[in-house]
Structure 1
Amino acid sequence: MSLIVEPIKMPGPVDSDFLLAAERTLLAWNRTSISLMTFGFFVERFGMFLEMTHREEVREFQRHISFSIGISFVFLASFIAVYSAWQYRRTLRMASPSGAPPGYNLYFCMITNGIIALLGGALMVYLLRDIL
């Protein structure tokens, strides 16, 4: 009895359903990262709104908490965009792209996730400019 577990290998060429399902999963993570980024920006700006109401008991404490939580959400969104693109790339390496429809670009969604991650980084720099 062997305790070594062998990796699963795909039998023969992969059909287009598998590749398109992987792409749909990547796009779902893309939507999730955009939603988290939007929520983080909203939380950060809501803290600024509370600061503008000039309530002293809220001003000092609330602004720092909303800023930290908002930046954390934007960072998480950027991380999810990069990590899901990396996972998708691993899936493409495991599968044979010969199952894709002719002329279909399998890497477009991966590029889109990379752009979303870069925009998340730019948003973090924009939000951090008050601190720096």
Structure 2
Amino acid sequence: MSQSEPGPVGPEIDPRVILAAERTLLAWMRTGMALMGFGFVVARFGWFLREMAAVGNHPPEPGSGASLWIGTGLVGMGVWVLVGSTIRYRCYLGSLSRGDRALPGAGMGTAVALVLALLGVAMAAYLIVVGTGR
């Protein structure tokens, strides 16, 4: 049986293509785990600030509770990246086994970049507002 003829399950697939798809999945998994870890740190930072204020017998900084929501959003985004990348990987492998050579689109990467950019703008605005005392 030649490489171009379909096998019992479908056309033979170059193992390099499957391994490249797996490396891409692993890169997305690292991104998701990093988002979740960073989100946890951000969420706990507000708690740390409140504890330090309590030890110093002064009121906590205004807006220190926002870190919980920002951190939770980052953790949620990390979960979304993990689930979305797994679904994308499985769909791609399924399309390969059917003989479809269509590449997955850039939608997920674009969505992650845009959400992180918006979150970065929101965090910068928050830091400016808290820093100026408004």
TM above 0.5: yes
Determine what percentage of the aligned residue pairs are the same residue: 40
Match of 1:84 in 2: 85
Match of 2:59 in 1: 56
Match of 1:75 in 2: 76
CA distance in 2, matches of 1:79, 1:31: 13
Give the letter aligned to residue 95 of structure 1.
Answer: L
- The answer to whether structure 1 residue 42 and structure 2 residue 41 are counterparts is yes
Structure 2 stretches lacking a partner, 5+ long: 1-10, 99-134
CA distance in 1, matches of 2:37, 2:16: 31
CA distance in 2, matches of 1:94, 1:88: 10
CA distance in 2, matches of 1:83, 1:39: 19
Structure 1 stretches lacking a partner, 5+ long: 1-11, 98-132
CA distance in 1, matches of 2:45, 2:96: 45
- Per-residue CA deviations over 1:5-26 (Å, capped at 9, x if unaligned) read xxxxxxx532000000000000
Q: What is the deviation of 1:69?
A: 0.4
- The answer to whether structure 1 residue 30 and structure 2 residue 33 are counterparts is no
CA distance in 1, matches of 2:95, 2:48: 49
Give 1 or 2 for the bigger CA radius of gyration.
2
Give the letter aligned to residue 16 of structure 2.
Answer: D
Find runs of 4+ consecutive structure 1 residues off by over 4 angstroms.
none
Match of 2:5 in 1: none
Larger relative contact order (Cα-Cα within 8 Å, sequence gap ≥ 6):
1
**Which secondary structure state, in structure 2, belongs to the residue aligned with residue 56 of structure 1?**
coil
